[in-house]
Chain A
Amino acid sequence: NAGVTQTPKFRVLKTGQSMTLLCAQDMNHEYMYWYRQDPGMGLRLIHYSVGEGTTAKGEVPDGYNVSRLKKQNFLLGLESAAPSQTSVYFCASSYSKTGYGYTFGSGTRLTVV
């Protein structure tokens, strides 16, 4: 089992460019999440999904879109990148609606210049 795999691991974007971050899990988890972590701060929830075909907004959803067309994949899109979106992005998945079994990916470090 690879667990939760994030692609890419590093990326530098110019302001206004678009990109998609991919999160893939091979554990058949129902729930998937995208968080961002800025220096000296905790993880803040961007969007999440409670099952294939569903998405919901988290704490900081502006400037991002997501899709969950397949159960194993959760995509995070930036349509027009801004320097304020420079951050480390973590994907997570879970098998339980009670909070157990959160598994985090290794993160994507995104810099917008």
Chain B
Amino acid sequence: GENVEQHPSTLSVQEGDSAVIKCTYSDSASNYFPWYKQELGKRPQLIIDIRSNVGEKKDQRIAVTLNKTAKHFSLHITETQPEDSAVYFCAPFNDYKLSFGAGTTVTVRA
């Protein structure tokens, strides 16, 4: 099965600074790479995704970059705001299913 690792497990940033989370995966057949945000007590919400034939995708303050050769993809959040505080999960997709990383807890300090 897919082995997914996320780093770091916790990240504390000053409001306005950038945050970067890296996800590595093991199965080269994975072809869809989403990032989810989960607030306390809530369900995961898709925030950005990328397909395997694209290297980078941006949506306002968030972006995802993919290096398929090295089997890793990263989430970039710029100009962080207090509402960005949450747990973020990568979840590469392969063989009909998402495989989730263990999560990164992001805290934005005011």
User: Whole-angstrom distance from the CB of A65 to the nearest CB of chain B?
Assistant: 18
Q: Is the CB of B99 within 8 A of A102?
A: no
Q: Given A48-B97, A50-B96, A99-B98, check contact A105 B43 (CB 8 Å).
A: yes
Q: Is the CB of B103 within 8 A of A42?
A: yes
Q: Is the CB of A99 within 8 A of B44?
A: no
User: Whole-angstrom distance from the CB of A102 to the nearest CB of chain B?
Assistant: 7
Main secondary structure of the interface of A (DSSP, over half): loop
User: Whole-angstrom distance from the CB of A6 to the nearest CB of chain B?
Assistant: 10
Q: Given A42-B103, A43-B44, A105-B43, check contact A33 B32 (CB 8 Å).
A: no
The answer to whether A41 has its CB under 8 Å from any CB of chain B is yes
The answer to whether A90 has its CB under 8 Å from any CB of chain B is yes
Main secondary structure of the interface of B (DSSP, over half): loop
* Number of A-B residue pairs with CB-CB distance less than 8 Å in the complex they form: 53
Residues of chain B lying within 8 A (CB to CB) of residue A78: none
How far apart sit A99 and B95, CA to CA, in the bound complex (Å)? Answer: 9
Q: Is the CB of A104 within 8 A of B32?
A: no
The answer to whether A106 has its CB under 8 Å from any CB of chain B is yes
Q: Is the CB of B46 within 8 A of A102?
A: yes
Q: Is the CB of A43 within 8 A of B89?
A: yes
Q: Is the CB of B34 within 8 A of A99?
A: yes
Q: Is the CB of A98 within 8 A of B103?
A: no
